[in-house]
Amino acid sequence: MPDLGKYASDVLAAYGITAALLLGLIALSVVQSSRVKKRLKAAEERRKSDG
């Protein structure tokens, strides 16, 4: 860990907020993608079974 001196809290807060926001966005995008994929699969199966 580099010596951040008196700015340690500022630098770590900047990296922490960035990591939290980016990981949140990535997680949300992946979860939405898998949910919609399941919904589409179910809708296409219904369509096939209805002829």
Partner 1 sequence: MASLWEWANPHKFMTWTAKALPIISIAAAVVTVIGLIWGFFFTPDDYRQGATIKIFYIHVPTAMIAINAWLMMLIASLIWLIRRHHVSVLAAKAAAPVGLIMTLIALATGAIWGKPMWGTYWEWDPRLTSFLILFLFYLGYLALWEAIEDPDTAADLTSVLCLVGSVFALLSRYAVNFWNQGLHQGASLSLDKQENVADVFWYPALVALFGFVLMFVALVLLRTRTEIRKRRVHAIELRERVQG
Which residues contact partner 1 by CB under 8 A? 2-8, 10-11, 13-15, 17-18, 21-22, 24-26, 28-30, 32-33, 36-37, 39-40, 43-44, 46-47, 50
d(CA 46, CA 51): 9
Q: Does residue 26 contact residue 34 with C-beta atoms inside 8 Å?
A: no
Closest approach, Cβ 9 to partner 1, in A, equals 9
Return the HEC string of 12-42. HHHHHHHHHHHHHHHHHHHHHHHHHHHHHHH
Smallest distance from the beta carbon of 20 to partner 1, in angstroms? 10
Least gap, CB of 29 to partner 1 (angstroms)? 5
